A and B are shown apart, each in its own frame.
Chain A
Amino acid sequence: GNSVTQMEGPVTLSEEAFLTINCTYTATGYPSLFWYVQYPGEGLQLLLKATKADDKGSNKGFEATYRKETTSFHLEKGSVQVSDSAVYFCALRRNTGFQKLVFGTGTRLLVSP
């Protein structure tokens, strides 16, 4: 079946450090891929998406590239801020039927000043 695997957290970084959060997926066909972010006490917000191989999604300095050959969608940011502290969820959405989102377990990011 379809599934998403994320690196375990927490990921602890100092401000201005480089961030990578790994995400790999298993899916039939060619799903769309998403990163959602959950700030403390809030709901899920779409961060970025990519809908086909080699697409790069980007938003607020975050980037992720859809790699079909490695079935990966790693999230990166060149210089994190304290305000980026949150839980990040990688998710896929299959392209057949009614397309529910399948989420990874989430990775907590903690950025210290």
Chain B
Amino acid sequence: EPEVTQTPSHQVTQMGQEVILRCVPISNHLYFYWYRQILGQKVEFLVSFYNNEISEKSEIFDDQFSVERPDGSNFTLKIRSTKLEDSAMYFCASGTTGTSNQPQHFGDGTRLSIL
């Protein structure tokens, strides 16, 4: 069964450094998402992306964050200048449509640790 893949599985970065988290969505999916989960807390929506542009973003997704689909397969999340509070598990998800009755398929996540 096709799956969403994320790399790396664990990223350790110094505060203030830039980090890029990578995702390869399922190949025929058109809608892409990033979520994050701070340790012990709920999974929170960051951003959704469709047709090469952001369709919705949360208040967490400030100017330090950006997303890109640089080619036909990758979907990346960049944090420009990381802060301690950016430490979390980041999940990429993709879906065939944007309609509510279709599930989003998640990757295994990237654990980001900011020192």
Please measure, in the bound complex, the distance between the C-alpha atom of A98 and the C-alpha atom of B33, giving whole angstroms: 11
Please measure, in the bound complex, the distance between the C-alpha atom of A37 and the C-alpha atom of B101, giving whole angstroms: 18
- A20 contacts the other chain (Cβ, under 8 Å)? no
Q: Are A95 and B50 in contact (CB under 8 A)?
A: no
Residue in chain A with minimal CB distance to B57: A100
Given A43-B106, A43-B109: A106 and B48 within 8 A (CB)? no
Q: Are B100 and A94 in contact (CB under 8 A)?
A: yes
Residue in chain A with minimal CB distance to B103: A46
Please measure, in the bound complex, the distance between the C-alpha atom of A106 and the C-alpha atom of B41, giving whole angstroms: 8
From A36, A98, A104, B48 is in contact (CB under 8 Å) with A98
Chain A interface bracket (under 10, 10 to 19, 20 to 34, 35 or more):
20 to 34
- B43 contacts the other chain (Cβ, under 8 Å)? yes
Among A56-113, those with CB < 8 Å from B are 89, 91, 93-95, 97-106
Given A93-B100, A104-B42: A98 and B105 within 8 A (CB)? no
Please measure, in the bound complex, the distance between the C-alpha atom of A5 and the C-alpha atom of B43, giving whole angstroms: 13
What 17 new A-B contacts, CB under 8 Å, besides A44-B93, A89-B42?
A32-B101, A36-B106, A42-B108, A43-B6, A43-B91, A43-B108, A44-B91, A51-B100, A94-B100, A95-B99, A95-B100, A98-B50, A101-B33, A101-B35, A103-B42, A103-B44, A105-B42
